[in-house]
Amino acid sequence: MERADNVARFIDVNLQMMLDLPSGSREQWQPLVSISGDDAEFSAKYPVATRDNVIKFLAFASENPNSIVSCLRAARENARTIRESISPEMWEQVNSSYLMANAAASNELLRSLSSFFSEVKKASQLFHGITDATLSHGEEWHFYRMGRLLERADKTSRLLDVKYFMLLPSVTDVGTPLDDIQWAAVLRSASALEMYRKRHGHIAPEQIINFLVLDHEFPRSIHYCLTAANDSLHAISGTPIGMYRNPAEQRLGQLRSELAYTDMRQIVTRGLHEFLDGFQKGIFETFFAPRPVGSNAPDRVGQ
């Protein structure tokens, strides 16, 4: 559900950004594929990253496991298999979300893409609210919360990484109105524009990076997500905060501490791409990388 929300958010913001770009500016759709990490799969199916190709691939393609429709289908299947462990309201919301997206995918005359993406975002937000209100905040809720926050942190890092290295057509555009439009789009993709303006006012790339990476209060910043995910991980395992008893607790604690004791100057000195790439690899290898049953590799949380 969180991934479907993020994909809808990225596409919708890019559609709106096209309306704000100066006349003659080149539309850029390839970065959206890069954010999802599906460059190879997209290139095998489509020769060029046009508007229609990217939207079809990221929103409706059933063969793309990270498309909106595929994410909602997988969420529905997961919910169906554990219906006895979730509330009826959760099941109803995830089921209706999938049916809505599936109907839109089969409707070649879809009247408004923007309305569809708004519905997907609203569906995800409703699901999260329903889950918080109807599921006991025990082990199941903490697993759900931790997965949602890790996914959110990963997508925020990918969004920043793509903007920093791919979205800007030329270094000569740095500091221009075009640059400001693109950075504002980054903030809107994370639903962060208004909160950022209240904190910092004008658009400034280093302040934006600081806000989306290191802020302690904004719920889509990487630091906030890792701190909350770490709390849920320790609630699951029973290990006191500040200690670790398994590789997952150790690695997540290391990532959280790295963010807690760093600043923008250190990130820039190391290189933003290198910093974000190391974070993404740490999250993937610790929590999501498949391992053979019975291997000697360190166990993931829950195994």
Residues 37-73 have pLDDT tens digits of 888 899 999 999 999 999 999 999 999 999 999 999 9
Distance CA 226, CA 210 (A): 15
The angle formed by the CA atoms of residues 5, 11 and 14, to the nearest 5 degrees, is 135
What is the spatial distance between Cα 98 and Cα 100, in angstroms, rounded to a whole number? 5
Specify the residue for token string 């995918």.
105
Residues 144-148 have a mean pLDDT of: 95
In this predicted structure, the answer to whether residue 218 has a pLDDT above a threshold of 90 is: yes
Work out the percent of the chain whose per-residue pLDDT is above 70: 88
Nearest Cα residue to 157 out of 244, 281, 299, 292? 281
Q: What is the pLDDT of residues 170-195, one digit of tens each?
A: 555 666 777 788 888 889 989 999 99
Query: Do 58 and 67 meet the contact criterion of CB atoms below 8 Å apart?
Result: yes
3-state secondary structure of 236: helix
Tokens of 169: 């057509």
Give the pLDDT score at 296.
52
What letter represents residue 31's amino acid? P
Euclidean distance between CA atoms 287 and 246, whole angstroms: 12
pLDDT, position 172: 58
* pLDDT over threshold 80, residue 21: no
Task: Name the average pLDDT for the chain.
Answer: 87
Highest mean pLDDT among 107-116, 174-183, 214-223, 278-287: 214-223
The arithmetic mean of pLDDT across residues 266-275, rounded, is 85
**Residue 228 banded pLDDT, cuts 50, 70, 90:** very high
Q: How many helices (H) and strands (E) does the chain have?
A: 15, 0
What pLDDT score does 4 carry? 96
Cβ atoms of 237 and 302 within 8 Å: the answer is no
User: Residue 302: which pLDDT band, with cuts at 50, 70 and 90?
Assistant: very low
